[in-house]
Chains A and B, each alone.
Chain A
């Protein structure tokens, strides 16, 4: 077996999985809090990529150094996507808080179509070239045949995001409120937690990680279009379900497993059916573990 090829596929899968993880977090956190599959989440990621493109084009024309462009474009994308995520919850989901779940799901699909077409009309249906924002790091030169600088950037950013998110959820007031709210909304309210605020915060956090994923992948692949959120969104959703929807470590694990599966299948078997593997894999896992890899089966709720 060719070891170098194997490591390339391994890291390729890891990179892919990291991006899926950044998007999957938004699905799983929102599901954990309001039991909604937010179909429009992929679009938040797409909007992040578009914002990143627009801002980075402007800043590059102004002659800024690549690193500064990357950071500023990333921050703009986060802010923009968060604003969209926040607003989306307020207009499409909050009014339906006590409605049947099907109504909310339809509202989510509507939101997704609306945002896609909005970007289609406001921007273009063509693929737009996205500048590579990550410079070739000189210190990384000796290893770049296994893992490129942009891939290294994606991996390390993902690790940092995961650490920050863990700190947020475990130790901050809003993070504790999120955990409590996801387990028992009424009791959370009875202890003085503003449940609406917690839900908004969840959408904002999920949108931020999706925006980071959007900018990173756009810069890595080099092109974007209005439709990019759809397939990435579905893959991330698969990852979230795979890991056990509602579970944050589950989403990350599911995303990595999916990334590796895709990478190794396309690398060793065939690249024609790349997108099919994801779904075959999902079906197989769910047959054996219906609640996902790290999902909780319904245990005692007294």
Chain B
């Protein structure tokens, strides 16, 4: 479904991605783990066309997307919940969700997805008229994921959805990620600091260090791997 071939990306003179190749298959949950500053967020931003790549190629369903503007890429069915959530602070919860449907015209489908979200997160329904910027961190994360669901993505990129959340909320969010993968057949590309949790839900994982992919295997095998244990699981 998604292929990255020898992708390199720079911020000015700093090379953030040195040589990234990845392959995501339809229906999978894959995860990308790595230390702070490894280049995980940058990888997601190159896929969405926010950070341009200097060399290499990114393909979505066989089509080259690395020269497209972000809005065209989104229209293909790729959506990202970026690091830091990026809720529109002065729009209400409802208006934030509405922005997720910007490219959609199917009124009935939108209504159905909205009901689905409100059953997943009843709290958002209660706060539908509250300004996004006044929600708590956990509520904002729920809203960010919900807004992404409203875009009906076929590929959903999630950047550290557990950041700053209480363990119980984190588990709830991960359950929901599994649920949308199953219910909507949404392919999931998950970037996480919480390697233990991520490798447990993921079918496959990639390990990234300093702008390079150093390891890739099934989630189970990576969990059992000695190097991964030492570096990322704190065991």
Contacts and interface: CB of A to CB of B under 8 A. Distances in A.
B86 A184 contact: yes
Contacts of A187: 82, 86, 88
A186 B103 contact: no
Q: How large is the interface on B (under 10, 10 to 19, 20 to 34, 35 or more residues)?
A: 20 to 34
B79 interface: yes
B82 A190 contact: yes
Interface in B54-99: 69-71, 74-75, 79-80, 82, 84-91, 95, 98-99
Contact of A191 (B89, B90, B151): B151
A186, A189, A190, A193: most-surrounded residue (chain B CB, <10 A): A190
A183 B91 contact: yes
A177 interface: yes
B91 A180 contact: yes
Given A190-B70, A190-B80, A302-B133, A176 B89 contact: no
B118 to A, nearest CB: 20
Contact of A192 (B85, B86, B103): B103
B50 A186 contact: yes
Contacts of A302: 84-85, 87, 89, 133, 137, 140
Contact of A194 (B71, B91, B151): B71
Q: How large is the interface on A (under 10, 10 to 19, 20 to 34, 35 or more residues)?
A: 20 to 34
B134 interface: yes
B134 A300 contact: yes
A300 B133 contact: yes
Contacts, number: 76
A299 interface: yes
B5 to A, nearest CB: 23
A184 B137 CA distance: 17
A44 B99 CA distance: 32
Given A183-B88, A183-B89, A191-B74, A176 B147 contact: no
Interface string A80-92: 0000000000000
A145 interface: no
B27 interface: no
A192 B102 contact: yes
B147 A191 contact: yes
Interface string A279-302: 000000000000000001001111
B147 A179 contact: no
Nearest to B140: A302
Interface string A162-183: 0000000000010011011001
Interface string B106-137: 00000000000000000000000000011001
A237 B172 CA distance: 49
Contacts of B50: 186, 189-190
A180 B88 contact: yes
Contacts of B79: 190-191
Contacts of B103: 191-192
Interface of A: 173, 176-177, 179-180, 183-184, 186-195, 296, 299-302
24 contacts: A173-B102, A176-B99, A183-B88, A186-B50, A187-B86, A187-B88, A188-B99, A189-B48, A189-B50, A189-B69, A190-B70, A190-B74, A190-B86, A191-B74, A191-B100, A192-B102, A192-B103, A192-B151, A194-B69, A195-B71, A296-B90, A300-B133, A302-B89, A302-B133
Given A183-B90, A186-B86, A302-B87, 19 more contacts: A176-B95, A176-B102, A179-B95, A180-B91, A180-B99, A186-B50, A186-B82, A189-B50, A189-B74, A190-B79, A190-B80, A190-B86, A191-B100, A191-B103, A192-B102, A192-B103, A296-B90, A300-B89, A302-B133
Interface of B: 48, 50, 69-71, 74-75, 79-80, 82, 84-91, 95, 98-100, 102-103, 133-134, 137, 140, 147, 151
